[in-house]
Amino acid sequence: MTPVPPLLTPARKRGLALVSFLVLLQGGAMGLAAFATRALFDAMHQETALPALMLAALVLSGVATATVRVLARRAGERLGQDYARSLRRALFDHAARMPARAVATRRTGYMSLRFVGDMTAFRNWLALGLPRLIAALVMVPCALIALALMAPLLALVVLPILSFGIAVILLAGWKLLPLHQDLRQRRASIAADMAERMPLAPHLDMLGRRRREARQMNRQLSAMIEVALRRITWAEALKAVPDLMAGAAAAVVIVAGFRSGISPGTIAGALAALGLLLQPMRDLGSLWNLRAAHRAAQQKLSAALSRAQRPTPAARRALPKGALTVALHQVALPSGQQITCRLEAATRRVLDLEPIDFASLCDVIQRLDEAPSGEVMLGERPLQDLSAGSLRRRIGRIDGAAVILQGSLRRVLTLGLEERPSDARLLRLVERCHLSPLLDRLGGLDGRISEGGRMLSLSERVLISWARVRLRKPGLLLIGPEVRMLDDQTRARLMRYVQKREATVISATALPFERKTNDMSEVRAGG
């Protein structure tokens, strides 16, 4: 299991300390505004000239409060983004070490939900949640201290109301967690269903499924909306508690101040001090909403990071140079069959397997996946003892499963290479691998290929995988059944390349133009 990245690293602790300092400055500025307000109201009540210093202090406190608020929000956002970055990296690293089959069997949209939807909850907790908690812990005592300095009696009458409001927010906030969990689960399900159905929408319409799918979607959306309404109602009710509290506290301050003969200026200053409480109390109400979202996302993250990974070998041995020997002993395949065979270096074999079994075997040999049982030996060494870099360099795969990332044709051809060859060499490679039509269609090596290579035909994917193999010159070639899709001339050129290579070859099918030879035999998997 990959550990969840810590919320507060030393760097983020320093950032949070900066936020605390900025919030403290903000509280001081707002306290200054309360005292300036009291002095100005006293001057008006006594019908004397308004003190210019207090007017300047009132203006300065507003400027300082606004400036510090922006700086604190910026510092908090930096914390949240940094935390989200560490989570994204942990998720990607974990997925990269998972078996390829386990990743492929996840629902469409699974990874994007982890990288997009849940990241907002994590980022907001550190960017908004903790800073707001700090603000409440700083501003509420500052407001009470300012109120006590002006009139201790007013602080005493306000304290019970304030305590009651905080207690309501703290106790009622627990209700938000199950609502958030329910809502996020429903959103994730709808997003996954939409990601699956949107590309198939025209085909579903042709099959007469459009109205049925729309009704099902509407039922899911209606249920999700009801949960969303309950959650927002509860969250906004918590945020409304400070408004109710502020109204009651203001009334108590005015009545208590009037009956005790406290000056109007002091009452006005006390009301200004109460104004300091309103925003941090609202933030305290919204804090539960952010915390509930964070907890729900954290549960999903923990589940994602607990999924099984491919074992990391203790040894880092490299494969020998030249053609590789291959030994398969009772390797289990998805169909339930097992395969046992041995290939000497530089020999070629056709394995009579179903396409899914052959693809799975290739994944096992490349250590992208693990077979439920069996053993694989490459170059007389157990597969689990070999380094990932050695497997990447010494094994080539020619099939329709080439990994395609969005970008230029140049990037697609050289994906995974440590050193990128010159454009002149790439152009020669394009011609030799019969990719010139694709080059012309894209307008050169800078031509863009869409995400996942959706614009590519199956034959073009096979040719791209062939081009990558030619750049690596591996000692073991895995040739999938998709080569049947190539035209006769291209297959002939591919076969000539295979015959010239000093490499061991495992193929899913005998190419139709090839004559049977002594070193090309078929191996049928046994049950």
**pLDDT attached to residue 265:** 83
307 within 8 A of 94, measured Cβ to Cβ = yes
- State the average pLDDT over residues 52-79: 88
For 505, the enclosing helix (H) or strand (E) is: strand 504-507
Pairwise CA distance, residues 315 & 313, whole Å: 5
**pTM of the predicted model as reported, rounded to 2 decimal places:** 0.75
Q: Which domains does the chain have, with CATH numbers?
A: 10-305 (1.20.1560.10), 326-524 (3.40.50.300)
pLDDT digits (tens, 9 = 90+) for 87-98: 888 888 888 888
263 within 8 A of 42, measured Cβ to Cβ = yes
pLDDT digits (tens, 9 = 90+) for 247-265: 888 899 899 988 888 888 8
Encode 184-202 in three state secondary structure: HHHHHHHHHHHHHHHHHHH
Pairwise CA distance, residues 213 & 67, whole Å: 52
Tell me: pLDDT of 394 over 70: yes
Pairwise CA distance, residues 255 & 503, whole Å: 94
- State the average pLDDT over residues 61-65: 87
Q: Write down the H helix ranges in 348-442.
A: 355-365, 388-394, 409-413, 423-432, 436-442
**pLDDT attached to residue 513:** 38
Q: Place 520 in a pLDDT band, splitting at 50, 70 and 90.
A: very low
How does DSSP classify residue 380? Answer: T
Half-sphere exposure of 193 (CA within 13 A, CB side): 14
Q: Which residues contact 480 (CB under 8 A, 6 or more apart)?
A: 355, 358, 359, 362, 397, 398, 399, 400, 401, 462, 508
Beta-sheet strand order (sheet of 520-524): 395-398, 476-479, 504-507, 348-352, 520-524
Pairwise CA distance, residues 321 & 143, whole Å: 75
